Amino acid sequence: MLNQNQIELIHREIDGANTPAESAAFRSLIAENPEAKALAAELRGVTALLERTELREPPARLKQTVLDALRQPAASPQSIIRWSVFQLKLVTGQMEAIMTRKALLIGSAAVAVVLVSAALITGFPPMGREAGTIGGGDIPGVQQAARYHGRVMTQADVTLKNPEIQTLFQNDKILGLVRSDAFRQVMSNAAYHELMSSEAYHELMSSEAYHELMSSEAYHELMASEAYHELMASEAFRHLQATGAFRQAQSAEAMRTLQSNELFLRLQENELFRKLQSNEAFLRLQSNELFLRLQDNELFLRLQENELFRELQSNEAFRQLEENELFRNLSRSEQLSAAFINEAMRFQQ
Amino acid sequence: MGRYQKCLFNVALRMTGNAQDAEDATQTAFLNAFLKLRNYDPRYRFFSWIYRMAVNESLNLLKRRKQTVTLDDEPAIPAPEAGADDETEADDRVGQALMGLKPDDRAVVVLKHFVFFSYEEIADVLEIPVRTVKSRLFTARDRLRLALREQAN
């Protein structure tokens, strides 16, 4: 009966992985042990059989299918039907990435919402000692609002002396947004509050990955692109988002349903959608690990269905705010994000 | 793409046991590779990276299909038709025996005997220790030996 070391010696010899000394030991073993000799012969036979098998030629269409998928070819209904299930998966994957991109937009929207809500709670904009705002009394021009007695944000949370923050708080775009009905209604939306208090959201907002993504040029390029905003505001996209088929697109069956979905086909033909899909910044963002994590976030999905959030997304004031350099700078600040999240959590209590 | 498509397709073919799945897995692997090219770290070997995608996609595909073929089950690769030549018959015998292995073990055998990777290269592709590669390979090859012996009888 061969022991484990002897068996491994035989296998390694067959793989050509033995040292000269081990090979000598192998030769001695098979010379002295008929069982070892038989095993070695049989394993050599297996190896020879495996390695004798010729490689098959891949289907000629393989290369073209991949290239077509990468090029995002013209998607007439006929060509979509002809596409393989795989290609459909890819397209759906990109759709999901767009969805997630939208979720990220909501992420930044949430920061904005919290930012402005903090200002609302505490008085907006800071207009001297009487107005009251976030922060302690040791900051000139800043007092805690008398109508709000939660934990006071301190300079450890955010430096209100920061001129950028002060300017942002006085920004008329923010003011316009805050005064919009859509914004106020979103603020009282249960799904929004649930999301804001969720562990997943908290984790996301404080993650390195999120901040890296939010501060990336690619993200800002995409956010500022006409194509993105027009697509987000397009009826076809919204209708598609609301379809059950799309939401269940993880399974092949749902993808087949989606394939025949008229809205899906319409969206495929949408020039803006195509433009966005070929946007290099967008493609770069798709490979971000964060996308995958966000896709699992049920609350993001629920919030996306919220009509008010949609309204907010196409709100011109919000859009301008997003493109506002100050807001971008602020959104890169981990401290500030954390502080605003704290404020939002206090607000909902 | 031209350089890798044949090898990746054959890896996927041996992993999944059928040409359609192999085509799907290869396409997905290439597309993932293109889409994630920016994430590729040039300090690592490109072939490890791309083969990893093909193997992982094949494994994912098998999981999705819950294809749990064992040696006792009906083979995924059909038995050779009467009159098939020796080469085809040998190919089919190998295919059947391979499908009797656990997918993780099969991946090691495929990379070793169809792509001719070293233990270290296989470890790199599958992101497992070299000792695990050896252990899986030796066990799998022994199972193949017994399966092929049984087929011959």
Confidence grade of residue A189 (pLDDT, cut at 50, 70, 90): low
Contact B91, A53 (CB under 8 A): yes
Q: Same domain for A27 and A120?
A: no
Confidence grade of residue B152 (pLDDT, cut at 50, 70, 90): confident
pLDDT of residue B28: 84
pLDDT of residue B42: 61
pLDDT of residue B25: 87
Contact A267, A240 (CB under 8 A): yes
Is the Cβ pair B137, A84 closer than 8 Å? no
Whether chain B has a CB inside 8 Å of the CB on A218: the answer is no
Contacts of B7 in chain A (CB under 8 A): 55
Contacts of B4 in chain A (CB under 8 A): none
Q: Same domain for A181 and A324?
A: yes
- Among the residue ranges A125-129, A234-238, A248-252, the one predicted with the least confidence is A125-129
Mean pLDDT, range A314-339, rounded to an integer: 56
pLDDT of residue A175: 56
A73/chain B closest Cα distance in angstroms:
15
Contacts of B9 in chain A (CB under 8 A): 56, 58, 62
How long, in residues, is chain B? 153
Res A110 pLDDT > 60: no
pLDDT of residue A8: 94
Q: State the residue range of the domain holding B133.
A: 5-152
- Among the residue ranges A188-202, B28-42, B106-120, the one predicted with the least confidence is A188-202
Res A33 pLDDT > 50: yes
Res A68 pLDDT > 50: yes
CA distance A61 to A150: 65
Res A317 pLDDT > 90: no
Confirm whether A222 is domain-assigned. Answer: yes
The secondary structure element, H or E, covering residue A97 is helix A85-122
Q: Same domain for A132 and A266?
A: yes
Q: Same domain for A177 and A208?
A: yes
Q: Which of A75-84, A136-145, A304-313 has the highest mean pLDDT?
A: A304-313
pLDDT of residue A334: 46
Q: Which residue has the tokens 């991946």?
A: B107
Structurally, how many domains does chain A consist of? 2
Q: Same domain for A43 and A150?
A: no
The first and second tokens of residue A315, run together, are 């709100």
Whether chain B has a CB inside 8 Å of the CB on A85: the answer is yes
Q: How many CB pairs under 8 A join A and B?
A: 103
Is the Cβ pair A86, B27 closer than 8 Å? yes
Confirm whether A252 is domain-assigned. Answer: yes
pLDDT of residue B136: 95
CA distances (Å), origin A188, targets A151, A197, A272, A348:
21, 14, 33, 9
B97/chain A closest Cα distance in angstroms:
10
CA distance B108 to B125: 10
pLDDT of residue A203: 61
Contact B141, A11 (CB under 8 A): yes
Is the Cβ pair B144, A50 closer than 8 Å? yes
Confidence grade of residue B2 (pLDDT, cut at 50, 70, 90): low
Mean pLDDT, range A309-322, rounded to an integer: 61
Q: Same domain for A149 and A189?
A: yes
Res B82 pLDDT > 80: no
Q: Same domain for A239 and A271?
A: yes
| Cross-chain CB nearest to A58 (options B5, B36, B118) | B5
B36/chain A closest Cα distance in angstroms:
6
Percent of chain B with pLDDT over 90: 31
Contacts of B35 in chain A (CB under 8 A): 283, 286-287
Is the Cβ pair B141, A85 closer than 8 Å? no
CA A338, A210, A162, A123 dihedral sign is negative
Mean pLDDT computed over every residue of chain A: 57
Mean pLDDT, range A318-333, rounded to an integer: 58
CB atoms within 10 A of CB A22: 14
Is the Cβ pair A42, B138 closer than 8 Å? no
Q: Same domain for A39 and A83?
A: no
B91/chain A closest Cα distance in angstroms:
6
Contacts of B119 in chain A (CB under 8 A): 15, 17
Confirm whether A58 is domain-assigned. Answer: no
Burial bucket for residue B74 (CB in 10 Å: 0-12, 13-18, 19+): exposed
B72/chain A closest Cα distance in angstroms:
20
Contacts of A43 in chain B (CB under 8 A): 141-142, 145
For A139, which DSSP code? S
CATH number at residue B53: 1.20.140.160
Q: State the residue range of the domain holding A255.
A: 65-348
Q: Same domain for A30 and A179?
A: no
Confirm whether A60 is domain-assigned. Answer: no
Confirm whether A57 is domain-assigned. Answer: no
Structurally, how many domains does chain B consist of? 1
Confidence grade of residue B91 (pLDDT, cut at 50, 70, 90): confident
- pLDDT tens sequence across A288-302: 555 545 545 555 555
Q: Residues in chain B whose beta carbon is closer than 8 A to a beta carbon of chain A?
A: 1-2, 5-7, 9-10, 13, 19, 22-24, 26-28, 30-31, 34-36, 38-39, 64, 87, 90-91, 93-94, 109, 112-114, 116, 118-119, 134, 137-138, 141-142, 144-145, 148-149
Better-scored residue on pLDDT, A36 or A89 = A36
Mutate to test the interface with A, among B31, B57, B85, B139 (most CBs of A within 10 A): B31
CA B85, B91, B94, B99 dihedral sign is negative
pLDDT of residue A228: 61
| Cross-chain CB nearest to A50 (options B24, B28, B113) | B113
- Among the residue ranges A21-35, A75-89, A170-184, A211-225, the one predicted with the least confidence is A75-89
CA distance A110 to A119: 14
Mutate to test the interface with B, among A62, A87, A279 (most CBs of B within 10 A): A62
Is the Cβ pair B141, A47 closer than 8 Å? yes
Res A316 pLDDT > 60: yes
Whether chain B has a CB inside 8 Å of the CB on A275: the answer is no
Mean pLDDT, range A68-77, rounded to an integer: 46
- Among the residue ranges A200-204, B21-25, B87-91, the one predicted with the least confidence is A200-204
pLDDT of residue B96: 87
pLDDT of residue A236: 62
For A59, which DSSP code? P
Residue spans of alpha helices (H) in B36-129: 46-65, 86-99, 103-113, 119-126
Contact B31, A69 (CB under 8 A): yes
pLDDT of residue A345: 39
Confidence grade of residue A6 (pLDDT, cut at 50, 70, 90): very high
Whether chain B has a CB inside 8 Å of the CB on A66: the answer is yes
- pLDDT tens sequence across A139-172: 232 232 222 222 333 333 333 344 555 555 565 6
Q: Same domain for A149 and A276?
A: yes
Confirm whether A59 is domain-assigned. Answer: no
Confirm whether A73 is domain-assigned. Answer: yes
Confirm whether A121 is domain-assigned. Answer: yes
User: What interface predicted TM-score (ipTM) does this complex get?
Assistant: 0.81
Burial bucket for residue A4 (CB in 10 Å: 0-12, 13-18, 19+): exposed
CA distance B147 to A42: 12
Confidence grade of residue B138 (pLDDT, cut at 50, 70, 90): very high
Nearest-Cα residue of chain B relative to residue A13: B138
- Among the residue ranges A105-119, A184-198, B19-33, B136-150, the one predicted with the least confidence is A105-119
Percent of chain B with pLDDT over 70: 75
Q: Same domain for A159 and A225?
A: yes
Q: Same domain for A154 and A295?
A: yes
Better-scored residue on pLDDT, B25 or A199 = B25
Q: Which of A39-48, A169-178, A213-222 has the highest mean pLDDT?
A: A39-48
Mean pLDDT, range A200-206, rounded to an integer: 59
pLDDT of residue B20: 85
